[in-house]
Amino acid sequence: MPTRPSISVIICSIEPLKFARTWMAYTQLLRDYPHEIIGIHDASSLAEGYNRGIAQAKGDLLVFSHDDILILDPCFADKLAARLARLDMLGYVGTDRLITATWFGAGQPHLHGVVAHAKPGAKTLALNVYGVRHWPVAENIQAIDGFCMAATRACAEAIGFDAQTFDGFHLYDLDFSYSAYLAGYRLGVCCDTPIIHESAGNFGHTHLTYAERFVLKHVERLGHTPPEAIHGGSPGRGAVFADHQALLAAWQPDLLKRATLALQRVTAR
């Protein structure tokens, strides 16, 4: 029987309750694999914290996780190990064409993945389908969202996080994944892993500051994008569910592919 890879999960968190909940969830998901969960509780930025985590990690595979996600897939570890045996980095939503400082800027049909959101105080779960054209994994990805990312040790150590440019809590993930793509690493987006994220993102003034930094860093590739090429509409197709059982019942390839086709028809108008 082949030796199972060891897995290090790195979580930057300043909230003990969220960290404890996420720690317990990963402990259950990784129980059949050698693993460690590294908490960084005083990071000056996510990039700085994740770099510290990389330096401490002993695993063959590294997972970079927010503290407000919940993965509902008992096969999470098996899928991670199998897919990172042939790819270098994985995410759960992303794009195969990056043209600006958001992973969804190119619009359809360049977006891939599925994620559910549980907004604080809400009594329902919102499922967002960005694109399920390739099941279970979309490949040839250029950039991914950072609520949960995984990479081989070799890829993570070679790329690292740019803590000097991204010294806050925005765009560290886009830069990390896009830099890996530019360096020739192979990225993928997993569509078959039910995952709930408690945040839908923050795209306010601070995000714009880091977006400018991102574009300036990668200006040779992104600097000539015409404004009209950037998609401004809703990047995904959503549905609302009363509980996680209903969410899991809908997280099926045929239903998600139908939602993708409906999304393509809407955006083609």
Nearest Cα residue to 91 out of 151, 170, 25, 38: 151
- Per-residue pLDDT tens over the stretch 143-163: 999 999 999 999 999 999 999
3-state secondary structure 162-221: CCCCCCCCCCHHHHHHHHHHHCCCCEEEECCCCEEECCCCCCCHHHHHHHHHHHHHCHHH
Ramachandran bin of 236, using left for φ above 0, alpha for ψ from -120 to 50, beta for the remaining angles = beta
Q: Can you tell me the mean pLDDT for 76-91? A: 98
Distance CA 201, CA 9 (A): 22
- Residue 265 pLDDT class (50, 70, 90 cuts): confident
Predicted pLDDT at 54: 98
Q: State residue 205's pLDDT score.
A: 80
**Verdict on whether the full-model pTM lies above 0.85:** yes
pLDDT tens, position by position, 33-58: 999 999 999 999 999 999 999 999 99
Nearest to 130 by CA among 112, 105, 148, 146: 112
Could you tell me the CATH superfamily of domain 7-267? Spore Coat Polysaccharide Biosynthesis Protein SpsA; Chain A (3.90.550.10)
pLDDT digit string, tens, across residues 188-223? 999 999 999 997 666 668 889 999 999 999 999 998
